[in-house]
Amino acid sequence: MAVIINGHDLTIEEVISVCRNNEQVELAPEAVTAVKKARAYIEKKLDEKAVIYGLTTGFGKFANVVISNEQTEELQRNLIISHTCAMGEAYPRHYVRAAMLLRCNALSRGNSGIRLETLQTLIDMLNNGVHPVIPEKGSLGASGDLAPLSHIALALIGEGKVEYKGEIVDAAAAMKEAGINPVVLAAKEGLALNNGTQMMTAVGLNVLWDAMSLQKVADIACAMTGEALHAIKKAYDYKIHDLRGHNGQKEAAENLLALLEGSSNALPLQETKVQDPYTLRCAPQIHGASRDAIRYAYDMVSREINAVTDNPIVFPDEDEVISGGNFHGQPMALTFDFLKIAISELANVSERRTERLVNPALSEGLPAFLTKDGGVCSGFMIAQYAAASMVSENKVYDHPACVDSIPSSANQEDHVSMGTTSARTAAMVLDNAQKVIGIEIAAAAQGIWLRQEQGQKGIENLAPATRAAYEYIRTVSDPIERDVIMHDELVKFDEMIKNGKLLAAVEKTVKLK
């Protein structure tokens, strides 16, 4: 079933279905009406020879230069080709598809003045898998994502490169094979296509979606470590968390209790100790704070994907064309900087739990570095190094991009958001966090197996939910008797997190919040 867009009620879930599952996209009837109405108003203003930014003037610092009707087509094309300044590696396909959808949704609102046939052509490209090649670097996130969005518009006019049927080809050739005619841009359409926050939002939305799963996987990792280290699960009692009242904290505590329900390893109280270290005892508070930040990001992104963010904005009913600043990426810049810090903290505490598993001074009787033959074998010694390295790297990426600004366009654009950098670094943090939490899960599974080898019934005493996790893990990765190529094993854990199979195996037993 196609995703119907009208600029008002697109959901994050629908964006994911389009960008990852190739769902088709259609314009709602009311969107068709709104787009036609706005374009008719633009044509009326052109006939009246009104002086309106971006229609009959140049752009940025050239806003005071009046452009004749005869120069309109050249003006719009020049805007696009001159702005295709992005550099670096190309964005992955799902980011590009998300950006295309978000741009179409914003235009479908009927406040941009684009022609219906131009918008429909962009939708046709999306539905037929004609994906513009968009280099990932070069956006200030101020007049929106000018450079990245210009690369989308470049393909729309039949120029530049696209990814089509798995190959990088000329846009004109792909458009011809797909039966799509390139567009000759009319007045206002260049700005309608390249002013906006859709690239940063596309990247950040995908990071957010994966973070929503990762927060659950982090709880699974903590529960498995709790099984291996004989945690005191009384610290997760709802009475404690209700007293503080933070929703994320309460959800994390509920998840941990559900995951450990029925365990004979992690008990309400332990005879050998009074309390656990913070990485176990305070897991609801730490994980929960990240959950609340992720929820904040969800709310912000849900608004942004239905926002009109180009300039100027057309109000046909009010007979106004207003030059404003909805393209400024600051709301998303702050959001994605917050999001990446939240994700980073899930990795930070995970690495510390891994340290407790491998360090014989902290591991509650487990063999050093989780190997039975220490000295001859190194076990998980360097796996913890790798986790520590990625956690440290995340601290570099965590620096908020939004606190920096370099003025541009001869100081006309004198404050910029750097929001696309916020989103891109959030993606880097996410990748590291998935790997770090995967290392913890690998170490915890090894610790549980070693308990069994020590005659402590580590596997037999697992809760049903952690047992489900352990059993799935063992379909992919065997316990490590002697040293192996650890990279190969750790990649398996990274993949089981990213493909969602570990989480799915656990949620067959218990549904996590």
For 251-273, what is the mean pLDDT? 96
Q: Among the options 41, 53, 95, 472, which is catalytic?
A: 53
433 and 312 assigned to the same domain = yes
Which CATH number belongs to the domain containing residue 71 in this structure? 1.10.275.10
361 and 441 assigned to the same domain = yes
The answer to whether residue 24 is domain-embedded is yes
| pLDDT tier for residue 54 given thresholds of 50, 70 and 90 | low
Question: Are the C-beta atoms of residues 333 and 343 closer than 8 Å to each other?
Answer: no
Q: How many Å apart are CA 171 and CA 44, to the nearest integer?
A: 33
372 and 335 assigned to the same domain = yes
- What's 114's DSSP letter? -
187 and 210 assigned to the same domain = no
Q: Do the bridges between strand 25-27 and strand 3-5 make them parallel or antiparallel, or are there none, so unpaired?
A: parallel
With H, G, I as helix, E, B as strand and everything else as coil, classify residue 8: coil
Strands (E), 281-324: 313-315, 320-322
Q: How many Å apart are CA 162 and CA 178, to the nearest integer?
A: 12
Q: How many Å apart are CA 314 and CA 235, to the nearest integer?
A: 56
Q: How far are the Cα atoms of 165, 273, 304, 390, 511 from residue 250, in angstroms, in the given order?
A: 46, 25, 28, 28, 15
Work out the mean pLDDT of the chain and round it to a whole number: 95
The answer to whether residue 101 is domain-embedded is yes
Residue ending a domain, choose from 170, 196, 222:
196
192 and 60 assigned to the same domain = yes
Count of other CB atoms within 10 angstroms of residue 56:
21
410 and 329 assigned to the same domain = yes
Which CATH number belongs to the domain containing residue 430 in this structure? 1.20.200.10
| pLDDT tier for residue 58 given thresholds of 50, 70 and 90 | low
Residues 476-498 have pLDDT tens digits of: 999 999 999 999 999 999 999 99
Question: In what helix (H) or strand (E) does residue 27 lie, and over which residues does it extend?
Answer: strand 25-27
Segments forming the whole domain that contains residue 473: 204-507
The answer to whether residue 357 is domain-embedded is yes
For 403-421, what is the mean pLDDT? 88
Most distant CA atoms of the chain, gap in Å: 88
* pLDDT at residue 146, as a whole number: 94
Residues 91-149 have pLDDT tens digits of: 999 999 999 999 999 999 999 999 999 999 999 999 999 999 999 999 999 888 999 99
The answer to whether residue 49 is domain-embedded is yes
The answer to whether residue 512 is domain-embedded is no
| Whether the predicted pLDDT of 505 surpasses 80 | yes
Question: Are the C-beta atoms of residues 140 and 408 closer than 8 Å to each other?
Answer: yes
Got the DSSP string for 56-101? TB-SGGGTTSB--GGGHHHHHHHHHHHH---EEEEPPHHHHHHHHH
The answer to whether residue 513 is domain-embedded is no
| Whether the predicted pLDDT of 407 surpasses 90 | no
166 and 229 assigned to the same domain = no
276 and 218 assigned to the same domain = yes
Q: How far are the Cα atoms of 157, 238, 344 from residue 291, in angstroms, in the given order?
A: 42, 17, 12
Mean pLDDT lowest for which of 45-54, 85-94, 190-199? 45-54
* pLDDT at residue 187, as a whole number: 87
| Whether the predicted pLDDT of 421 surpasses 90 | yes
Question: Are the C-beta atoms of residues 77 and 155 closer than 8 Å to each other?
Answer: no
| Whether the predicted pLDDT of 272 surpasses 70 | yes
| Whether the predicted pLDDT of 411 surpasses 90 | no
Question: Are the C-beta atoms of residues 15 and 101 closer than 8 Å to each other?
Answer: yes
- What's 7's DSSP letter? S
155 and 191 assigned to the same domain = yes
32 and 139 assigned to the same domain = yes
Residue ending a domain, choose from 178, 196, 214:
196
Residue ending a domain, choose from 148, 165, 196:
196
The answer to whether residue 15 is domain-embedded is yes
Residues 6+ apart with CB under 8 A from 513: 216, 251, 254, 255
Residues 177-236 have pLDDT tens digits of: 999 999 999 988 998 999 999 999 999 999 999 999 999 999 999 999 999 999 999 999
Residues 303-357 have pLDDT tens digits of: 999 999 998 899 999 999 898 999 999 999 999 999 999 999 999 999 999 999 9
Residues 6+ apart with CB under 8 A from 470: 224, 445, 448, 459, 462
* pLDDT at residue 59, as a whole number: 63
For 384-392, what is the mean pLDDT? 98
- 472 included as an active-site residue: no
The answer to whether residue 107 is domain-embedded is yes
Tokens encoding 369: 């570095």
* pLDDT at residue 226, as a whole number: 98
Q: How many Å apart are CA 321 and CA 312, to the nearest integer?
A: 6
Strands (E), 125-262: 131-132, 135-137, 161-164, 167-170
Q: What is the pTM of this model?
A: 0.96
294 and 332 assigned to the same domain = yes
* pLDDT at residue 201, as a whole number: 98
Query: Which among 341, 371, 343, 339 is positioned nearest to 358, based on CA atoms?
Result: 371
173 and 247 assigned to the same domain = no
Number of domains comprising the chain: 2
CA dihedral over 429, 432, 434, 437, signed as positive or negative: negative
Residues 59-76 have pLDDT tens digits of: 666 666 676 776 778 888
| Whether the predicted pLDDT of 475 surpasses 80 | yes
Which residue bears the tokens 């379909």? 475
